[in-house]
Amino acid sequence: MEFSYFPGCSLHGTSKEFDESVRGVTAQLGIKLHELDDWTCCGATSAHSLDEQLAIEMPARNLAIAERSDRDLLVPCANCYSRFKAAEYAVKEHDRKISFPYEGKVAIRFAMDYLCDKPVVEEVKKRIVKPLTGLKAVCYYGCLPVRPPRLTGIKNYENPTHMDGIVKALGAEALQWSYKTDCCGASLMFTRLDIFKKLTGKILVEAVKTGADCVVAGCSMCQMNLDTRQEDIEKDLGRKLGIPVLYYTELMGLAMGHPDTGKWLKRHFIDPFPMLKAKGLIQ
């Protein structure tokens, strides 16, 4: 299987471990990724609030590049995926006029949806060398991977379960909780820190209350928000949380014995190594 691949800005910068883990586990599964030539920012997260036409043109440029091949486009970043689907919807459903030769023909695949789909999960099971037995996780989907459903096509958008499925397949326990699609505050981290910390704090507190050892995320912004600001939130709450926030692809790499898993995990603000060592999942 081969895909065109759009990493996006975050995965080449602040979320480098997400990019590397996506590339790592797909290679283990025999999936070849072709990064788009000359790709540019898709406009997330601010273009749509500044200029409606620009918000369509920026992702459409990348989609036009992707249409030069007959491969589907794999997108791991939820923000990028949302902007691509919005551009596709504008062009195909509303005949939006744009500057690039994009016709809406390329299939846009969200990496989490694809890698958590049943056929891929079955292939993952065959390659597990270290089941994640004893690990209790809550899956946090956030807003953009599932909403709005007219763009994402997710039927069970209030209670998605496909990331829970891959966590269970890896041997871990996916705990049930009610905050899997609550908003983390997104870019309010930069503009309204007070609101952001309330939203993110509520999610982290509930994850700890549920008994989770970690939060599993599929969105680079969600992971960043829950991970990097956790110590600030702890100060406001007057209590320790200390719950690691990991990408589902990192857990896949850990269970499948990818040699770079440790390197990916070292980049997190909340150190996951003590918890994973206590579970006997890492040396």
Query: Looking at domain 130-278, which CATH architecture does it have?
Result: 3-Layer(aba) Sandwich (3.40)
Cα–Cα distance between 274 and 133 in angstroms, integer?
16
Residue 44 has pLDDT above 90, yes or no: no
Entry field: residues in the chain: 283
Threshold 0.85, pTM exceeds: yes
Contact 170, 101 (CB under 8 A): no
Over the chain, what is the mean pLDDT? 94
pLDDT in tens, 253-273: 999 999 999 999 999 999 999
pLDDT in tens, 136-189: 999 999 988 888 888 888 888 889 999 999 999 999 999 999 999 999 888 777
Q: Which one, of 92, 66, 83, lies nearest residue 4 by Cα? A: 66
The confidence score (pLDDT) of residue 189 equals 73
Confidence of residue 280 (pLDDT cuts 50, 70, 90): very high
The confidence score (pLDDT) of residue 147 equals 86
How is the chain split into domains, by residue range? 2-113, 130-278
Cα–Cα distance between 19 and 8 in angstroms, integer?
9
The confidence score (pLDDT) of residue 49 equals 65
Structure tokens at 149: 């459903």
Query: Looking at domain 2-113, which CATH architecture does it have?
Result: Up-down Bundle (1.20)
Average pLDDT on 11-35 reads 96
Name the DSSP letter for residue 107.
P
Confidence of residue 48 (pLDDT cuts 50, 70, 90): low
Q: Which one, of 273, 220, 264, lies nearest residue 242 by Cα? A: 273
pLDDT in tens, 196-248: 889 999 999 999 999 999 999 999 999 999 999 999 999 999 999 999 999 99
